[in-house]
C-alpha cells in the first residue's frame, strides 16, 4: 500500500487552514490537519518542500515508523511547525488505515469507551448582560459546559471575547486572528483583570446556579503569584478548570500556583511534545492536558501523552477552537471516544464556508459530540470549494501594557 501522491491544500473559508491529502496507489485518500494560526504557510512549505518528497513510495500502513522517521530523521526535533507537519501526516495515515479496514477510526484505537464526547462551548460578552445572553444561547444549543470570558472595565477589546453580541440568531463565537497585514495591538492590564474576574463568576453562579459546568481561560496572562491569587479567588465558584493561568514554558511556576489553589488547572495548547509535559505530569501540577492533535504530532503521539497522564489521574481536554480544521476536530473526537482518561472536548462551530469545504460526519447533540460511523475520520475536503477561498494573511493580536511595554507573559 504505497503512497503515490501528496497534496498540500491551503484554503481560507473564513479563516486559513492547511490540509494534507495523501493518496495511495490503490486510490485510497487520507486527510490531515496542519493548521498553525498565523504561521500557516510555514507548515505548508515544510510539508510541500521537505515532507511530501519523503512520503512518495512509502508504505502507508507504517504509521509509527513514518512518525519516527519524520521526527528523528529530520535531526531538528519539536517546535510547532515541525510537529504540526508530522501531525498532518500521522492523521492522514490513520484515516487511510481506517478506511481500508472499513471502520470508523475510533475502532482502531480500542473502540468506544463512552457513548459520546462531552463538549464545552465558548460564551463571552463585553459586559455581564452580553455574557448572560451568550451563556443562554449556548444552553439553548445544548451545551452543559461553558467557558466564560468577559471584557474588563477600562480596557477596549479583550482577547477571547466576541466583538459583537448575538443578534437575530447570529453566531457568538470569536475568531481571534484578524485579516490585517500587521497584527492588531491591544492594551492589557492584569491587575484590572484580577479584580474583575471573580465578580463575573459570582454573577454567573448567582444567575445560572451551581450545576452549570464553568471554565475560564487566562490565556497565559499572569505571573505565577497572580495566577495563584486568581485560582484561589475563583475557588468559591467551583470551576471545572482554569486554563493557561501562566505561561508554561517554565513548569516550575506551576509548583507555586498549585501550592496556593485547589482550582483545577489545564495547560498545553501551545505544547508540542511529551517533553513539554514531563514535569507537569510527573509532579501532578495540572489536571488536564490541553494539546491539540494538530500541534502535537498527531494521534500517535497525543495518545502516548494521554496514556502517560492517565497514570497520574490527569485527563484530556483536547484543544478545539476554530483554528483547528474539521479534520483536526474529527481526529480529536475519535481519540476522545476511545481513551479511558477523557475529560472534556473544546468545541466551537466552524463557519458555514468552512463546512462547505469540509464535509463532516461528526455531530453535536445535547452537549455531546460523536465522530460518526463512517470509515476513517469521516471528513472529506471538496477541492473545488477549497479553491474558491485563497489564503489571506491573518494574525493573532499582540498585547501591550498601559505604558506601551510589550506584554511580559
Ligand atoms: O490560535 C490561538 C487559539 O487557538 C487560542 O487562542 C484559542 O485559547 C484558545 C482556546 O482555549 O481555545
Ligand atoms: Mg486556550
pLDDT tens sequence for the chain (409 residues): 999 999 999 999 999 999 999 999 999 999 999 999 999 999 999 999 999 999 999 999 999 999 999 999 999 999 999 999 999 999 999 999 999 999 999 999 999 999 999 999 999 999 999 999 999 999 999 999 999 999 999 988 888 887 644 444 444 456 788 899 999 999 999 999 999 999 999 999 999 999 999 999 999 999 999 999 999 999 999 999 999 999 989 999 999 999 999 999 999 999 999 999 999 999 999 999 999 999 999 999 999 999 999 999 999 999 999 999 999 999 999 999 999 999 999 999 999 999 999 999 999 999 999 999 999 999 999 999 999 999 999 999 999 998 999 988 8
Q: Which atom of ligand 1 is nearest to the CA of 243?
A: 11
Ligand 1 center–CA 20 separation, angstroms: 22
In this prediction, residue 174 carries a pLDDT of 62
Helix or strand (DSSP H, E) at 345: strand 344-346
Q: Which atom of ligand 1 is nearest to the CA of 37?
A: 1
Helix or strand (DSSP H, E) at 150: strand 145-150
Cell digits of residue 143: 451545551
Pick the closest to residue 145 from 338, 290, 341, 347 (CA basis): 347
Contact residues for 286 (Cβ-Cβ < 8 A; gap 6+): 254, 265, 266, 267, 268, 280, 314
List 122, 138, 216, 219, catalytic entry: 219
Strands 265-267 and 288-289: parallel
Respond yes or no: is residue 159 known to be catalytic: yes
Task: List ligand 1's pocket residues with C-beta within 6 A.
Answer: 37, 176, 217, 219, 243, 269, 319, 321, 323, 346, 396
Residue 174 near residue 160 (C-beta atoms within 8 A): yes
Ligand 2 center–CA 363 separation, angstroms: 23
Output the residue whose Cα is nearest ligand 1's atom 8. 219
Ligand 1 center–CA 124 separation, angstroms: 14
Ligand 2 center–CA 64 separation, angstroms: 29
Amino acid at each position: 500500500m504505497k503512497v503515490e501522491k501528496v497534496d498540500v491544500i491551503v484554503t481560507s473559508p473564513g479563516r486559513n487552514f492547511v490540509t494534507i491529502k495523501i493518496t495511495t496507489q490503490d486510490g485510497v485518500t487520507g486527510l490531515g490537519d496542519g493548521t498553525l494560526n498565523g504561521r500557516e504557510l510555514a507548515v505548508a512549505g515544510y510539508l510541500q518542500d521537505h515532507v511530501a518528497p519523503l512520503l512518495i513510495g512509502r508504505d502507508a500502513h507504517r504509521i509509527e515508523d513514518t512518525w519516527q522517521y519524520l521526527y528523528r530523521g529530520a535531526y531538528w526535533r519539536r517546535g510547532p511547525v515541525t510537529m504540526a507537519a508530522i501531525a498532518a501526516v500521522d492523521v492522514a495515515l490513520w484515516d487511510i488505515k481506517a478506511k481500508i479496514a472499513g471502520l470508523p477510526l475510533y475502532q482502531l484505537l480500542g473502540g468506544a469507551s463512552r457513548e459520546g464526547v462531552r463538549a464545552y462551548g465558548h460564551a463571552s460578552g463585553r459586559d455581564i448582560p452580553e455574557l448572560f445572553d451568550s451563556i443562554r444561547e449556548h444552553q439553548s444549543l445544548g451545551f452543559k459546559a461553558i467557558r466564560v470570558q468577559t471584557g474588563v472595565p477600562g480596557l477596549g477589546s479583550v482577547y477571547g471575547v466576541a466583538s459583537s453580541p448575538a443578534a437575530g440568531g447570529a453566531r457568538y463565537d470569536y475568531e481571534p486572528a484578524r485579516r490585517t497585514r500587521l497584527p492588531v495591538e491591544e492594551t492589557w492590564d492584569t491587575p484590572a483583570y484580577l479584580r474583575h474576574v471573580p465578580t463575573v463568576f459570582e454573577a454567573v453562579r448567582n444567575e445560572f446556579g451551581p450545576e452549570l459546568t464553568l471554565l475560564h481561560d487566562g490565556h497565559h496572562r499572569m505571573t505565577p503569584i497572580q495566577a495563584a491569587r486568581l485560582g484561589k479567588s475563583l475557588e468559591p465558584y467551583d470551576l471545572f478548570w482554569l486554563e493557561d493561568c501562566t505561561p508554561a514554558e517554565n513548569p516550575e511556576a506551576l509548583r507555586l500556583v498549585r501550592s496556593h489553589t485547589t482550582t483545577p488547572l489545564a495547560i498545553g495548547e501551545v505544547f508540542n511534545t511529551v517533553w513539554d509535559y514531563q514535569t507537569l505530569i510527573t509532579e501532578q501540577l495540572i489536571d488536564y492536558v490541553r494539546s491539540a492533535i494538530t500541534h502535537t504530532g498527531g494521534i500517535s503521539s497525543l495518545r502516548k501523552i494521554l496514556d502517560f497522564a492517565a497514570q497520574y489521574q490527569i485527563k484530556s481536554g483536547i484543544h478545539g477552537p476554530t483554528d483547528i480544521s474539521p479534520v483536526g476536530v474529527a481526529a480529536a473526537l475519535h481519540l476522545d471516544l476511545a481513551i479511558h482518561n477523557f475529560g472534556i472536548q473544546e468545541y466551537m462551530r466552524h463557519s458555514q464556508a468552512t463546512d462547505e469545504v469540509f464535509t463532516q460526519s461528526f455531530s453535536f447533540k445535547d452537549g455531546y459530540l460523536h465522530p460518526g460511523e463512517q470509515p476513517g475520520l469521516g471528513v472529506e475536503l471538496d477541492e473545488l470549494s477549497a479553491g474558491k477561498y485563497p489564503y489571506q494573511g491573518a494574525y493573532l493580536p499582540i498585547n501591550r501594557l498601559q505604558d506601551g511595554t510589550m506584554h511580559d507573559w
